[in-house]
């Protein structure tokens, strides 16, 4: 027999018998035919409380990376399994600077052992492409990988940075402004400089010299 759920409304039956639909305990019940006489009774107050609780439950906060490069400031809300980051057009997150490698970094989602939900780790270099030319930095220190934490400052080479923020710390207006897509005019303005740089530019930066 099918497990299809069937909802029976007793309101009309109670009204015919002269009672108010909500005067008693049960206003409706749910039945599963394959389970015989097993019923789940719900009164009006219980149904209302359940719906209100679902509506009031807040959306979970997500990390936001706020990038600054030659195109200015823009944000990316992290909610996918992974992101490729770099100068090449086919990256999930494209960065505009000649010192950024074509495949500069990977950002991968991981389970969060200490908190409910998940976190993200950023890795230097792209999948199968080796490390980036000009390095990955976190809070001023060159790293190969790092678990993203709130307010971290990530450096993709010497010029491009990203600050780790959270959706619950940003106003809706600020978030909307950061997520505004680039216009075709913005892309055309930097198209020449992107094409001219066929290879990454090694550059001295603080304590290291990129190879």
- What local confidence, expressed as pLDDT, does residue 182 receive? 76
Sign of CA dihedral 78, 81, 86, 87: negative
Cα-only R_g, the chain: 27
Domains annotated for the chain, with CATH where assigned, are 6-56 (no CATH), 63-200 (2.60.200.20)
- Residues facing residue 93 across a β-bridge: 85
Per-residue pLDDT of the chain (211 residues; tens, 9 = 90+): 455 444 444 444 344 344 444 444 443 434 344 444 443 444 555 555 555 554 555 678 999 999 999 999 999 999 999 999 999 999 999 999 999 999 999 999 999 877 668 999 999 998 887 999 999 999 999 999 999 999 999 999 999 999 999 999 999 999 999 999 877 665 555 555 555 544 566 665 443 323 2
- What local confidence, expressed as pLDDT, does residue 70 receive? 95
Got the DSSP string for 48-112? HHHHHHHHHPPPPP-EEEEEEETTEEEEEE--SSEEEEESSTTSSEE---TTS-TT-EEEEEEE-
- What local confidence, expressed as pLDDT, does residue 138 receive? 98
- What local confidence, expressed as pLDDT, does residue 129 receive? 75
- What local confidence, expressed as pLDDT, does residue 112 receive? 81
- Reference 106, options 144, 59, 77, 71; nearest CA is 144
- What local confidence, expressed as pLDDT, does residue 183 receive? 72
- What local confidence, expressed as pLDDT, does residue 195 receive? 53
- What local confidence, expressed as pLDDT, does residue 31 receive? 39
User: CA 78, CA 150: separation in Å to the nearest integer?
Assistant: 13
Cα 203–chain centre separation: 32
- What local confidence, expressed as pLDDT, does residue 204 receive? 52
- What local confidence, expressed as pLDDT, does residue 200 receive? 60
- Residues facing residue 108 across a β-bridge: 82, 121
- What local confidence, expressed as pLDDT, does residue 57 receive? 54
State pTM to two decimals.
Answer: 0.64
Question: Residue 142, Cβ neighbours under 10 Å: how many?
Answer: 16
């Amino acid at each position: 027999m099918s497990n299809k759920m069937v909802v029976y409304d007793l309101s009309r039956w109670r009204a015919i018998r002269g009672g108010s639909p909500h005067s008693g305990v049960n206003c409706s019940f749910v039945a599963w035919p394959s389970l015989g006489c097993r019923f789940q009774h719900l009164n009006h107050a219980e149904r209302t409380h359940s719906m209100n609780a679902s509506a009031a439950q807040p959306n979970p906060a997500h990390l936001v990376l706020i990038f600054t490069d030659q195109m200015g400031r823009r944000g990316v809300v992290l909610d996918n399994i992974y992101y490729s980051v770099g100068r090449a057009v086919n990256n999930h997150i494209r960065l505009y600077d000649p010192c950024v490698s074509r495949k500069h970094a990977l950002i991968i989602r991981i389970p969060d052992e200490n908190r409910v939900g998940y976190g993200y780790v950023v890795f230097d270099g792209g999948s199968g492409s080796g490390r980036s030319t000009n390095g990955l930095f976190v809070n001023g220190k060159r790293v190969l990988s790092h678990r993203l934490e709130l307010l971290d400052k990530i450096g993709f080479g010497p010029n491009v940075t990203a600050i780790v923020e959270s959706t619950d710390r940003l106003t809706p207006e600020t978030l909307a402004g950061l997520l505004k897509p680039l216009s075709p005019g913005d892309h055309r303005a930097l198209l020449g400089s992107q094409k001219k740089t066929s290879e990454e530019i090694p550059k001295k930066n603080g304590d290291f010299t990129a190879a």
